[in-house]
Every structure is written in C-alpha cells, then in structure tokens.
Amino acid sequence: MRVVLVGPPGAGKGTQAQFVASHLSIPKISTGDIFRDNVSHGTALGRRAQAYMERGDLVPDEVTIAMVTDRLQDDDTQAGFLLDGFPRTVPQAETLKKMLSAWETRLDVVLELVVDDDEVVRRLSGRRTCRRCGRVWHALFDPPAHVDACDDCGGQLFQRDDDREQTIRHRLEVYQEQTSPLVAFYADEGILLGIDATGPVDEITERALSALRRFNR
Ligand code: ADP
Ligand code: AMP
C-alpha cells in the first residue's frame, strides 16, 4: 500500500507512522528524520537543509524531491511505503504523482490527521525524540520511565531545535500557506481521508488502520 500522512507539525504523523507502517509491513519514510540524520552527520545535504530547518522554513523543493526520488528507488518500497512529511507543497505532490505514474503505480490514500493549533503547541513543546532509534515521546502525554532515556532502546532523548514556541508558530504559518493546499489537491484526486487525531495514541492508530482498510485495493 502507498500511503501519505498529511497534517500540521505536531499532528502526530511520526507517532502514528511508526505503528501504522509496522502494522502494514511497509517502510516509513520520514523526510524530517532523513534531513535531521544528514544534519547530524554533517553531509552536504544536511548543510544545505540546516538553516531552513532551524528557521522552521521548508527545505527547497528541488533538494527535497531529489532526496525522496532516491529513497523511493530502494528495494524495500516495492510492496509500498508510508510517507511522513512529504509531500509538503503542491509542486512536491505533482512530482510524486508523475514519478509514481512513470513507475506505473499511484498513491492509494492520503490520510489527513486533524488537530487544532493549541493542541499542536502543547504537543510540540513537550516533544522528546530518541537520538538512537528516533522513537517520539512526550514529556507529559507519553513520558518515558526516565526523563532522558528512551524506554525502547535506552538511547538519549533530545528536544528538537525547531520545537521552540516562536518557531512552532512560524511552522504553523508555513503549513497553512504551503502545505494545507494539499488537502484540496488530494480531495480532487479522490484519495483524501481525514481523521480526528485527538485522543489516545492507540485509538488514533485504530482509526487510521480502519480508514486505510477501506482504501486497500
Ligand atoms: P508530527 O510528526 O506530526 O510533527 P509527532 O508524531 O512528532 O508529530 O508528535 C508530536 C508530539 O505529540 C510528540 O511529543 C508525541 O509524543 C505527541 N503526541 C502524538 N500523538 C499524541 C496524542 N494522540 N496525544 C497526545 N500527544 C501526542
Ligand atoms: P518534520 O520532522 O516533518 O517536522 O520536518 C522538520 C523540518 O524538515 C521541516 O520544518 C522542514 O524544514 C524540513 N522538511 C521535512 N520534510 C520536508 C518537505 N517535504 N519539504 C520541505 N522541507 C521539509
């Protein structure tokens, strides 16, 4: 199955992606994770992306599209994939559509996670991420047993540089301006499905999986 998760920063895309992708036995491809990995390893791609990410701006389309095009050609995507954080602009969505069509395939469903801005700010200001396995926690809503360590792998937790209140507000504006038009784009394609992304994580996973079942061709 070929799935895209869309929603504002903090909607829970990464959180749901890890459960949904593992349930469907498809790889989760998170552009934010790939960029952060490149930044922490000081690669040329990371050096290009870093300043945009710190400001809460989008990395330019040509850089992002080149990276995703490469990743989608890996063997593990044959049976499908779950994209978390891509596409984020209409040109990215158009390029993805053309790319898949050249490979004689297409997206099955775009799942929109719907939450309001106040909830996003509450979620992002408490977000903690594991440096080793990438698992996402929340200091209050989903706390690990020890403040600084990941329960899953023991890795060290960190707070993202772009999760400061001012940058969060800017990222929400960027979402409204550049990413929210994707909702209409995919509604026109007839593959958009919105779900309420508030409430306990496992209930949202169940909502997501039952929504996906309806689209599984
Ligand atoms: P996104 O990938 O959309 O930016 P994340 O999955 O990283 O969002 O989630 C942002 C923060 O919100 C994380 O700290 C996560 O633990 C927390 N979170 C995710 N889902 C929920 C939920 N249903 N209720 C409360 N907090 C949540
Ligand atoms: P995320 O982890 O999805 O919140 O992404 C973190 C940051 O990475 C974003 O604020 C952008 O700077 C960058 N990024 C991730 N995905 C994309 C994308 N599809 N297009 C442009 N920039 C992106």
Question: What is the pLDDT tens value at each position of the chain, 217 positions in all?
Answer: 999 999 999 999 999 999 999 999 999 999 999 999 999 999 999 999 999 999 999 999 999 999 999 999 999 999 999 999 999 999 999 999 999 999 999 999 999 999 999 999 999 999 999 989 889 999 999 999 998 999 999 999 999 989 988 899 999 999 999 999 999 999 999 999 999 999 999 999 999 999 998 876 5
Peptide bond into 143 cis (omega under 30): no
Q: What pLDDT score does 68 carry? A: 97
Pocket test for ligand 2, best of 15, 29, 30, 53 (most atoms within 8 A of CB): 53
- Residue 96 near ligand 2, beta carbon < 6 Å: no
Please say whether the beta carbons of 129 and 135 come within 8 A. Answer: yes
Residues 72/154, Cβ–Cβ less than 8 Å: no
Asked if 71 is an active-site residue, the reply is: no
Q: Residue 67: what pLDDT?
A: 96
Instruction: Using the atom order of ligand 2, give the atom closest to the CA of residue 52.
Output: 12
Task: Write down the pLDDT at residue 70.
Answer: 95
Rounded to whole angstroms, what are the CA distances from 100 to 17, 80, 201?
A: 21, 11, 31
Domain ranges within the chain, ordered by starting residue? 2-26+79-215
The token pair that represents 136 in the structure block: 């996402």
Provide the pLDDT for residue 134. Answer: 87
pLDDT at residue 214 in the model: 82
Q: Which residues pair with 156 in a beta bridge?
A: 149
CATH 3.40.50.720 matches 2-26+79-215: no
The pLDDT score that the predictor gives to residue 91 is 98
- In this prediction the pTM is 0.95
Query: Taking CA 36 as the corner, what is the angle to CA 200 and CA 23, rounded to the nearest 5 degrees?
Result: 40
- Which runs of consecutive H residues, i.e. helices, occur in 26-142? 31-40, 44-55, 61-71, 90-102, 117-125
Query: Alpha helices of the chain — where are they, by DSSP H?
Result: 13-24, 31-40, 44-55, 61-71, 90-102, 117-125, 165-174, 181-189, 201-215
Token pair recorded at residue 8? 């504002």
The predicted structure's pLDDT at residue 217 = 56
Q: How many CA atoms, within 13 angstroms, populate the side-chain half-sphere of residue 78?
A: 2
Testing ligand 1's pocket by substitution, the residue of 35, 112, 123, 196 carrying the most ligand atoms inside 8 A of its CB is 123
Query: Which ligand 1 atom lies nearest to the CA of residue 15?
Result: 6
